[in-house]
Amino acid sequence: MFHGLSAFPLTPTDEDGVDESAVAELVARLDRAGVDSIGALGSTGGYAYLSREQRRRVAQVAVRAAGDTPVLVGIGALRTADVLRHAEDAQRAGAAAVLLAPVSYQPLTDDEVYGLYADVAAELSVPLCVYDNPGTTHVVFSDELHGRIAELPAVGSIKIPATPPEPAQARARVARLRAVLPDRVTIGVSGDPAGAGGLLAGCDAWYSVLGGLWPQVCLAITRAARAGDDDGAHRLSDRLAPLWELFARHGSLRVVSAIAEQAGLIGTPNLPRPLLPLPAEARRHVAAVVEELTPELSEPPGRA
């Protein structure tokens, strides 16, 4: 399941809790679109803002709504004991794999990061994807640490940050990491503007925020890149440059939340406080970008 397009949908949330029916519809759209896997409770899924019970329910709803599409469930938390509880809940819900970022408040040493993954891996009956996301965790993985963690039998994939934009540098980055990993461990790229480049550089998967909302165009990028069609993959990705600019300016979670709300996929408000929706001017900008892009995309961001 750690190949191709892994689409990460929102978890529509307000101060009253999670909108489970909206979660189910967002996930079902991805199953119908034919994505390779679905990432529930990733960063876009707001896992860090949800209680254990809310996360347990989201995992259950997502697995049911996903049909035959495998579901990857995020289990990150500050304490190892809580990570283990989330892992248990995800497995009981039927998750095909779990996604773990080393969430921290105190800076973690390499031994502490390794210890987290070793403790969790020892308790798993499903594969684990290592989530390397220094922008939120402030943990910087060395290739040596990645290689050490990847020797744990449960590890099936590593989700890395965006690869360099220059193709030769991107290929070199992926090759350096590949050299320290067992053959069974795949590499997936995140950071949507780098999706095409990462796949063309040799990554096996694209862990995509936009894929959770616009799966068809992201599938087209993924298939072109995996077929070695450099021009086709970059052409499709470059068409989305206005969205990538919005992601950089406002954060992808706020932007895809605004798009999903404007499309009627989720209600409003839909972000857990202290997160706030985009201000009115930014929302108008998002709407204008979506209107401009929608006729060119194979699927508009509405109900499938």
The CA distance from 150 to 223, in Å, is 27
The catalytic residue positions are 131, 159
Q: CB–CB of 166/138 below 8 Å?
A: no
- Left if phi > 0, otherwise alpha if psi is -120 to 50, otherwise beta: which for 37? beta
Annotated binding-site residue? 69:
no
Q: Where are the alpha helices (DSSP H) in 183-279?
A: 195-200, 215-226, 230-239, 241-250, 252-262
Q: CB–CB of 128/97 below 8 Å?
A: yes
Report DSSP letters for 197-220, one per residue.
Answer: HHHHTT-SEEEESGGGT-HHHHHH
For 93-148, what is the HEC assignment?
Answer: HCCCEEEECCCCCCCCCHHHHHHHHHHHHCCCCCCEEEECCHHHHCCCCCHHHHHH
Q: Which residues belong to the annotated binding site for pyruvate?
A: 44
Q: Which residues belong to the annotated binding site?
A: 44
